[in-house]
């Protein structure tokens, strides 16, 4: 492994062991989406609270592999406080990066860049994207 791969692995393991923004809330201002990935057993729920075009809060909970659970934590921390427009840009760039599509490299992926190595493991791409897809789903529900 080169230095970047070591660093990326550390980011992933840190978020897996100490997940940020974990735990759901009972609040009708939050939109909630639940997604399962049967091939791996990942089971993730994501909540977002959008206010005045800003991602005011992101929560997540669930069970799954280290890639899935850590990426939910990274997603929540990366998108928290961003405008909805920026959150969508980051989400699109991240998903496209993972799936080897063209993406806007000007978009700052922050710690989510740690998942670049997942591209080499097609079976794990869904694990790394499920929480982001769930977040996307929470936006669809709010007009």
Alpha carbon distance 39, 25 (integer Å): 28
Q: Does 93 participate in binding Zn ion (rule CB under 5 A)?
A: no
Identify which of residues 40 and 95 has a Cβ nearer to Zn ion in the complex: 40
Q: Does 80 participate in binding Zn ion (rule CB under 5 A)?
A: no
Per DSSP, the residues of 20-74 read: TTBS----TTSEEEEEEETTTTEEEEEEEEEETTEEEEEEEEEE--HHHHHHHHH
Identify which of residues 49 and 71 has a Cβ nearer to Zn ion in the complex: 71
Identify which of residues 57 and 71 has a Cβ nearer to Zn ion in the complex: 71
Q: Does 79 participate in binding Zn ion (rule CB under 5 A)?
A: no
Identify which of residues 55 and 130 has a Cβ nearer to Zn ion in the complex: 130
Residue selected from 8, 21, 35, 42 as contacting Zn ion according to rule CB under 5 A: 42
Question: Per the structure block, which two tokens stand in for 118?
Answer: 């997942």
Report the residue number whose CB is nearest to Zn ion. 127
Q: Does 40 participate in binding Zn ion (rule CB under 5 A)?
A: yes
Alpha carbon distance 34, 32 (integer Å): 7
Residue selected from 12, 33, 68, 69 as contacting Zn ion according to rule CB under 5 A: 68
Nearest distance, CB of residue 17 and Zn ion, angstroms: 16
71 contacts 131 by C-beta, under 8 angstroms: yes
Binding stretches for Zn ion (CB under 5 A): 40, 42, 64-65, 68, 127
């Amino acid at each position: 492994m080169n230095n970047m791969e070591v660093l990326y692995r550390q980011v992933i393991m840190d978020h897996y062991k100490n997940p940020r923004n974990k735990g759901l809330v009972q609040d009708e201002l939050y939109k909630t989406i639940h997604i399962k990935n049967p091939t791996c057993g990942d089971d993730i729920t994501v909540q977002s609270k959008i206010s005045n075009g800003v991602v005011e809060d992101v929560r997540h909970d669930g069970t799954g592999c280290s890639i899935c659970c850590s990426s939910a934590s990274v997603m929540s921390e990366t998108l928290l406080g961003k405008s909805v427009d920026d959150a969508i840009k980051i989400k699109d760039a991240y998903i496209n990066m993972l799936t080897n599509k063209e993406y806007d490299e000007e978009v700052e992926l922050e710690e989510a860049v740690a998942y670049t190595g997942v591209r080499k493991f097609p079976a794990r791409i869904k694990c790394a994207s499920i929480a982001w897809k769930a977040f996307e789903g929470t936006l669809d529900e709010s007009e």
